[in-house]
Copies of this chain bind each other. A is one copy, B any other.
Amino acid sequence: MGTVAKALSLLTHFNQTRLEMGLSDITRASGMNKATVFRLMGELQACGFVEQVGNDRAYRLGPEVLRLAALREKAVPILSVSRDVLKDLCDLTGETSHLSILRGRELTSLIHEYSPRHATRVMMEDAEVLSLHATASGLAVLAYSDAEFVDEFLATPLVGHTKRTETNPEKLRQVLSNARANGVAESANAFELDVHSLAAPIFDAEQNPAGAIAVAAPASRMTPQKRDRIAEAVKEAALELTQKIGGFCPADYPQERAA
């Protein structure tokens, strides 16, 4: 790993539950030595990527990431475009909808919408890493990833998030094959109990998966009819978003829409 990649890898330790981290925390999480972490964090700080706050001078992400995100959004307006798509999907299904995007080999939730229709709903956190084999979004992305990555991923030990998580590689291959046939992936109780989700991949200009759109409902509310309606809606929403961000579906993606 080069020095730059090493420094930027330090930023991956910040997440929803660790918005601020002290030097010791980052040192521990990274496994690097403290002097190196201190020097790299100093360089990141000089560039506005992190800043130090409070009496304990803990680090948190800096304002420069907002400027870069505004420029990324101008180049690929996925947030502004997906907000409307997610809202429509929410209205149509009465359940929580969300968008996740792939960066490298990690899938991260980015934006969500809640429906006011029911007294209970699936709650979402933005910027959370989603499990590839245990969430509908992860399976949707994996179903369209290159074979090399899928083989590599399935060869690693797979985490059982709940007692219902499928961790058998051969069974997961069957799940991916089904997802690919339908253009929609499904996951019930596998990442969190009582959550049933359906997701469809979105594609970039090179026909590679860029992320996924999903609808998540309390499992207790999911009927077969509702499941079919959501599967259809989530697929249409994903096709719409792919088109709006200038992407293209692979030739074998099942594109027929409901009448």
Contacts and interface: CB of A to CB of B under 8 A. Distances in A.
A15 B110 contact: no
A71 B50 CA distance: 12
Contacts of A5: 43, 46-47
Contacts of A8: 4, 43-44, 47, 49
B103 A64 contact: yes
Contact of A69 (B2, B47, B54, B65): B65
B11 A43 contact: no
A123 interface: no
A70 B126 contact: yes
A181 to B, nearest CB: 28
A196 to B, nearest CB: 25
Interface in A49-84: 49, 53-54, 60-76, 78-79
A101 B15 contact: no
A7 interface: yes
Nearest to A49: B8
Given A19-B74, A71-B14, A205-B53, A2 B65 contact: no
A76 B60 contact: yes
B101 A43 contact: no
Nearest to A74: B19
Contacts of A177: none
Contact of A7 (B4, B39, B76): B4
Interface in A35-49: 39-40, 43-44, 46-49
A120 interface: no
A9 interface: yes
Given A53-B205, A63-B102, A66-B69, A16 B46 contact: no
A67 B19 contact: no
Q: Of residues A9, A63, A65, A78, which shows the largest number of chain B Cβ atoms within 10 Å of its Cβ?
A: A63
Contacts of A20: 75
A65 B63 contact: no
Given A5-B43, A11-B68, A63-B102, 14 more contacts: A4-B7, A4-B43, A8-B43, A8-B44, A8-B47, A19-B74, A47-B104, A61-B68, A61-B75, A62-B72, A63-B72, A63-B210, A65-B69, A67-B108
